[in-house]
Amino acid sequence: MGDVNGIPTPPWAGEMESGDFISTAPTYEVGKLFHLFEKSQYKHVSGTELKYYFYDPFKQSTVESKKLPLLVFLHGTSNALEGDVCINYTGAELYASEKYQKSLGGAHILIPVANEYRDEDGKVQGFWSADYLESVHGLIMDFVAERKDVIGPIILLGNSSGATFVLRLMDTYMDDFDVVIPVGGTALADDLVLDKYDEKGKYLFLALGKRDEFHDYEEELVPRLPRLERMKHCFIYTPDWVRNGDKGVASIYFGIEMGQHCLMNGVQCNLMFDDGTPMDERLPHGLTGWIASVVKELGF
């Protein structure tokens, strides 16, 4: 395997299409919108305490005073250890931008933060697990109750371990949520639970790179595709190559395609390239456009 300027050529480089290139960083600026988010603390009746960030569309923009959707973003493992950068790692930061808010028709944003820490061996502990289900559900419900006159449908979005967690939240408290968007996760419930999605009119947007570094697309997702494709409200986004806004194949550390984690770069880009073209022709207005259409279908 050759190298360029001391950087090894990844083993999968030869699989790219002619004219493709490797993109090693997102094209957006991280941290530019952190000031739009407020920070608070929540204590559940069980005693569990959680830090959270939130964005209030009525304080930051001129959106119409009405019930707007709540976007709940759940981060991946170790992201809570990054301080405010966690806002970006969840994919939430740009959804507070004027451009995205306009496309959404306005939206509240909530970012719960897990109580992560490193043990004596340096391993991350306290990441999202079933132990958090009750407390995170309580946080979301209490947040909504305080704003019941201005919050409409609730949309869960999570990446990596957060993707598994939002699926479990939807499975456990399906009557309380409307849409779930797992990014880089395959922990789908069995067909009986998917039947409940249809019965209750719930929406699923499944995003997984076909070259995901942790989940084997052929083994873990392909067998479920026939059932997913029969669902009433399911959008399946499974790009062959995960790309950044500059249309390059996204890679971290050069050599790792990172189809799972770099997919959040695309979500942060609203699944739109920097030149204004969509990453998927079925999404001419990106993920915000899809969310806005679902919110309208739900009657808001």
Give the number of residues written for the chain: 300
Q: Is 3 part of a structural domain of the chain?
A: no
Q: Is 60 part of any domain?
A: yes
Domain range enclosing 246 = 22-254+262-297
Over range 126-149, report the average pLDDT: 96
Residue 2 domain-assigned?
no
State the total domains in the chain: 1
Chain-centre distance for alpha carbon 224:
21
In a domain, 6, yes or no: no
Tell me the percentage of the chain whose pLDDT exceeds 90: 80
Is residue 47, in this structure, part of any structural domain at all?
yes
User: Is 4 inside any structural domain?
Assistant: no
Residue 11 lies in a domain: no
Q: How many CB atoms sit inside 10 A of residue 237's CB?
A: 21
pLDDT of residue 1: 43
pLDDT band at 260 (very low <50, low <70, confident <90, very high): low
The model carries a pTM of 0.94
Residue 14 is predicted with a pLDDT of 86
- Averaged confidence pLDDT in the chain: 92
Look at residue 9 and tell me if it is in a domain: no
CATH number of the CATH domain containing 172:
3.40.50.1820
**Residue environment code for 92-118, b if the CB has 16+ CB neighbours within 10 A, otherwise e:** bbbbbbeebbebbbbbbbbbbbbebee
**What pLDDT, in 10s, does the model give residues 49-59?**
999 999 999 98
One-letter amino acid of 102: K
> Where are the strands (E) in 147-275, listed by range?
151-159, 179-183, 203-207, 234-237, 249-250
